[in-house]
Structure 1
Amino acid sequence: MAYQRGKPKSKKGQFFGPYPSGWAVRESLNLMQKVFKLRQCDNNYFRNRTRPCLQYQINRCKAPCVGLVDKDEYDQDVADTRQFLDGKSQQLIRTLIKRMEAESAQLNFEQAADIRDQINHLRQVQEAQSADRGAANADIVGVAEQSGSFCFDVLFVRGGRVLGHKSYFPNFKLEAEKEDYLADFLGQFYIKLRDSRDFPAEIIIPVEYPEADVLAEAVTEVSGKKVTIKHRVRGERNDWLELANKNASMSLESQLASKTHSLHRTEQLTYLLSLPATISRMECFDISHTFGEETVASCVVFGSAGPLKSEYRRFNVKGITSGDDYAAMHFALHKRYKNLKEHPENTPDVIIIDGGKGQLGIAEDVMQELSLQHIPLLGVAKGISRKPGLETLLYQGVELNSKGNEAALLLIQQIRDEAHRFAITGHRQRRQKARQKSTLESIPGVGAKRRSALLKFFGGRHGVMEAPVDELCKVEGISRKLAEQIYEHLHPN
């Protein structure tokens, strides 16, 4: 079992969903391991096992890779899992009860106990998910409004099970009634984003509006199946609607509180830097590499209300001496701001550099080259102990005293840490990709077919590495000249 983001295209297999978040998917996979003990490894790992892995040792897999489970038994576990994911948990529990009774009648008490544990797990999950007798497939939309800000929370119910929820904070620019805001949100959610949407049989909304029938027809046409929109609901559906409204209210309060804190911190940073107007845009740079390998620079963007993640950027640093952080910083800043004059609306109010006087000096040089020296630069140098809160702030050639401006310092730490996280994540991805790349892929004249022929002839990469030129010539499609090139590439010394 594995999970996939987006709609399945060419992959084979049966797909279940949608799930509102990666957490919900991982939680379901975790449950599958506990209850049905299906393997979670990929096919390559599965085919190459010679003994059971740790999942078998902790009783979360039956080790089909080494034949420790009967094929019929494992096929039954797969069928049970499908039934559960299809929302037929009540039928599954009844079937398991019959199996438990049959095993007990045959005095197979250990097997009966295992089935009893499965039943208990499934019942606990049912209680947690508030299963509905009607096995509903519905989206329940909750709404909350405060201080001109709106939050819509969509509760996802599939097969009568609550799979989770997700909150949305649309930015409405025109004054209107709540019903109009709801109609606008639903149109965006189900019509414009239809490529990534799994449509339910019914949509339950918190307030009634006249165009609901028109929207239902449009969603039905887009989805290819009958979709109804309901406002007045009772019983279980009303409980779901109350839950969605409560989720929306809590999410909005949290969002507004976060914005208030961010605005306070931004105002204090403006005061600390003695800027004439409140900061509305900050950009921070960081460099990440491992001993000079696969250097990546990051640029994160924050507004007065917090991070603007859609505007984050990474730069794969090229053409510099490995490990030269100054050159990497020059590369990233020049790449980022060389066309800034053509798009002045993206001009930051302050640029934060994760580094000491050296990195800050490089930033000043780049701004001078690009005639952008009017943009304030703030350097954040780690202290001797490298502990948060003990950084040295460098601004306009002097060290700033942040005492009494703790909120501003917390904002700087947050931005710096986010830049570091974003940089190191990109570096690790790039480094992993480079290390997974076959040594043979970089040999001129050796394409996919010749690589495959070499690997098959010598039984793997290690065999190719040890093969002399005379042996390399024996491979179909490899001439003497090409064999010499391959050998020289694999043995440069």
Structure 2
Amino acid sequence: MSIFDYKKALADIPHKPGVYQYWDQEDTLIYIGKAKDLRNRVGSYFNQDNQMNGKTRVLVSKIRKITFTIVDTEIDAWLLENSLIKKHQPRYNIMLKDDKTYPWIIIKKEPFPRLYWTRKMIKDGSTYFGPYASVGMMHTILDLIKETYPLRTCNLPLTDENIHAGKFKVCLEYQIGNCKGPCQAYQSDEDYDQSIAEIKDILNGKIGNVIKDVKLVIKKAVDELNFEYAHQYQKKLLVLEKYQSKSTVVNSSITNVDVVSIASDERYAFVNYLKIMNGSIIQTQTIEIKKRLDESDEELLTLAITEFRTKFNSTSKEIIVPFDIKLKDENLKFTVPKLGEKKNLLELSHKNVLFFRREKLNQYEKLNPDLRSERILTQMQKDLMLTQLPVHIECFDNSNFQGAYPVSAIVVFKDAKPSKKDYRHFNVKTVEGPNDFATMEEAVYRRYKRMLEEEESLPQLIIIDGGKGQLSSAVSSLKKLGIEHKVTVIGIAKRLEELYYSGDSYPLHLDKKSETLKVIQQLRDEAHRFGITFHRKKRDQGTLKTELEDIPGIGKTTADKLLRQFKSVKKIREATEAELEKVLNKAQVKTLLAHFTPKIT
């Protein structure tokens, strides 16, 4: 029997809410569970052997594969787990195998509709909302609605004929203000229907009006010093503000549809599939397709749809897709949603496929690091609109202290990785005072003048740490050397991470999470670190030299000799006369010792 490497499987599982599935060596689904944090929950099965009961130890011993589906919230995980367990009934799931279902709120299809909760959905035209994973939360919503909107609770047949015939009389609910008496025509159809319309908005997630009303009730109760009543409503307000009436996992208005989404690159495509039945996700899977030719996403998605529908015996007439599909089938409808519940389902599918793709690519790139470099460089070429793959990138940064000790630093990346042996420092020679533009112009000119003289290959991309001014200075130097058209140079402004091109009035904004921007930021930060380190060293040495040069008979050349020999003023102060005589003449030694000897007053 093969040994299951749970540590390797665990590394691919995210710290996100979702549902996990365990499979045995026959590829049979044996357990489904939910989790607020998938990695922590799955990991607990393998790290608490001494605390497990016998059944759990047997389950763990049979695990040979772990799959998972991520969702938006813990409640969504709960609902998805319920749907999957009832569909597949895995051997080791016991708690949710019965016919228990989660409750729904129903607005009954009848004259003057009633509002109540139920666990059974009957296709009689009534409107259902939910299901609700938290019964307490559902009752809180019902209580708030009933106290805000007086509705009838009786089951009388309130037809127009019965009401006008005077068959009914108002009950106690009317007397205490919980009902407006539609049974005796005290409340019109229009007024009642207006209340129902507002309730539907609330149950669809538009609960702003209810929250506003509850806050008014609390304020009024406090003003009347009825603190107990205010406290009751305050608790309801806290629950209401956390409440989410819509779930991307379950929606009763979506009865039988398939959802597919795709993410691809040059080599692979990944397709996620969700099967929706009676408002619940009952099947979910993500597959990987290795491209043989330059197939389009539409071709791959069509292939995957056929595969999924055959595998899962889907008979749905509607398929939710991320873009138009040209597949001809009179019995199928392809929907590209823009808003609403179907859009939410498509986004959930897309979230799963992106995560699956990222994890797979990470696995491949760990085995072959060159794949990562090639992928990143290809993406950079596309994002930055380069004519060449940016295999060789150089980044410049300046440092000075109020114009003193100006330096420039250059860092080099090759294949999207630092090439530290190629890092260089520049002591600024032609610039006096705090002139960052002139400093940048000198550094760029000296760098590429030397490369041209030594016939070295130029970089494909030059990054300047600064805005338009520094960029213009760099381009000026490239023009003097006649290579402005041979390389691409961009500037990165610190404040908003804007990218500037020479001659363009408007900056380029990349997605904050894009790998291209991350590489550029890494270059900028590395150049800053490398430059500031050299600048501080030079500034510190300059300060020490000034102190030594202030000693009569010790000039700049002598100060340099002392620092090279002893490394610091502290060690010079502690040196013996014999040690100093190795560097200085006797007169200089005498002067130096006198300078460092405390004067007695």
The structure with more helix, counted as a fraction of residues: 1
TM-score (norm 2): 0.32
The TM-score, its normalising length taken from structure 1, stands at: 0.38
Point out which structure has higher relative CO (alpha carbons under 8 A, 6+ apart): 1
